[in-house]
């Protein structure tokens, strides 16, 4: 598994609209097994972020399968009115605002298998 963070700028003042769109997030599609094991959405201070843990296997394939899912495409299309730089399935990951963990610390010392 690999966890990535997608970070985009968001129009300040659009927080309510973005939150309302996420009430319709296609959770059932995620549960259907499209290659995403975990998803966390963040919002605040002019930023929008998605933390995605992608299944074992080819990262590019799983991540692009997520992006190509019609329900995700529809959500991202609606979000684009408020959030910039949201990827689509035709964009290479090198051109996306993605980050991955390079350091993980926790008090217990337990290893998180979804990160470094």
Which of the four pLDDT bands, split at 50, 70 and 90, describes residue 114? low
pLDDT digits (tens, 9 = 90+) for 23-41: 988 899 888 888 899 999 9
Considering the domain boundaries, does residue 79 fall inside one? yes
Residue 112 covered by a domain: no
Question: pLDDT per residue over 52-101, tens digit each?
Answer: 999 888 888 989 999 999 999 999 999 999 999 999 999 888 999 999 98
What residues make up the domain containing 82?
2-100
CATH number at residue 69: 3.30.70.1090
Number of domains into which the chain is organized: 1
Position 8 scores a pLDDT of 96
> Domain for residue 110, yes or no?
no
**Quick one: how far is CA 27 from the chain centroid?**
13
Q: Does residue 111 sit within a domain?
A: no
Cβ atoms within 10 Å, residue 61 = 12
Residues 99 and 5 sit within 8 Å (Cβ to Cβ): yes
Place of tokens 């996306």: 96
Q: What pLDDT shows up at residue 33? A: 82
Torsions phi, psi of 94, nearest 5?
Answer: -65, -20
In a domain, 116, yes or no: no
CA distance 41 to 72: 13
């Amino acid at each position: 598994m690999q966890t990535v963070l997608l970070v985009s700028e968001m129009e300040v003042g659009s927080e309510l609209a973005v939150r309302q769109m996420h009430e319709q997030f296609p959770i059932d599609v995620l549960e259907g097994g499209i290659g995403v094991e975990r998803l966390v959405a963040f919002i605040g201070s002019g930023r929008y972020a998605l933390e995605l843990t992608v299944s074992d296997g080819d990262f590019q394939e799983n991540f692009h399968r997520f992006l190509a899912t019609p329900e995700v495409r529809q959500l991202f299309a609606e979000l684009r009115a408020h959030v910039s730089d949201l990827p689509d399935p035709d964009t290479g990951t090198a051109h996306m605002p993605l980050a991955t963990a390079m350091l993980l610390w926790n008090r217990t010392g337990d290893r998180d298998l979804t990160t470094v």
